[in-house]
Amino acid sequence: MTLTPPNRAPTPPRSSRTAPRRSRPVRVAEEIKDWVVERNLKKGDRLPSETELIAQFGMAKGTIREAMRILEAQGLIETRTGPGGGSFIGEVTADRAKALLANYFYFTELSVADIYQLRKALEPELVASLAGKLDAAQIAELEAVIAQYPEPAQDAEEEREQHIASLVFHRRLANFSNNPLLAFVVSFMARILTDLTVYRQLYDPPNRELYEKGTAYQKDLIAALKDGRAEDARAIMRAHMETAEALMQLQEAKVLRRFIAE
């Protein structure tokens, strides 16, 4: 397989450059990515051998290997050993992408209010787009999630577990969307709330009224989705998000600064 470097734009004058100079392995890794894009390679397609890459770029074996390690760490290639082995196009999983994005937010002061500002904007539109379009199996999935918490929590720890379980409901909805970007963002926010959120003031004993209100929203939403009532679904989710945000404020919820696993 011949690896032809992609066409490059003219090098800008030195005075206009602001980015730091990249190492040789990084530059080679970027050129390989450009080559993959130009050829529209898919998951499982084989990349040139190490010998071919060395000859193509005129780089030392160590530089090529480091470039491939960079691509492998990014999830863009997979290396297999043994007969039929080599380097192949990989696929960045949603879990890896979420973990990397969460790592970015480790260095910022992300708040619960930040998350709910986005949830209130996106999730009502998500459910409105799904109204009347879910099949019986998808509706059954949502109903099965609610069935996991049929009774109010008996103590603070069980209440926290119900909070986490209820977020699965929103991740399921996200997975049903035909818009991959919307699905990813909604699912990512649910992941942050699941893995990085702590509650300083969980109710003890738990608040039965809040439990009943939350489950009622979810059941009403399922009914609206079944009936194809997009405006009702949008309004129900909006009210659900506003109630959930108010509850988290009362419970002094906080997003932790730590990394999440892939």
131 by DSSP, 3-state: which?
coil
Structural domains of the chain, ranges and CATH numbers in brackets: 14-89 (1.10.10.10), 95-255 (1.20.120.530)
- DSSP 3-state of 104: helix
Task: Output the pLDDT for position 16.
Answer: 46
Instruction: Give the rounded percent of residues in the chain with a pLDDT score beyond 90.
Output: 49
- Per-residue pLDDT at 259 exceeds 90: no
In single-letter form, the type of residue at position 189 comes to M
Residue type, 63: T
Report the mean per-residue pLDDT for the chain: 85
Nearest CA among 92, 56, 97 for reference residue 71: 92
- Read off the pLDDT band of 9 (50, 70, 90): very low
Q: Residue 200: its pLDDT value, please?
A: 64
pTM for the model: 0.74
CA of residue 247 relative to chain centroid, distance: 24
173-225 pLDDT, tens digit each: 999 999 999 999 999 998 888 887 776 665 556 667 777 888 999 999 999 99
Asked if the model's pLDDT at residue 73 lies above 80, the reply is yes
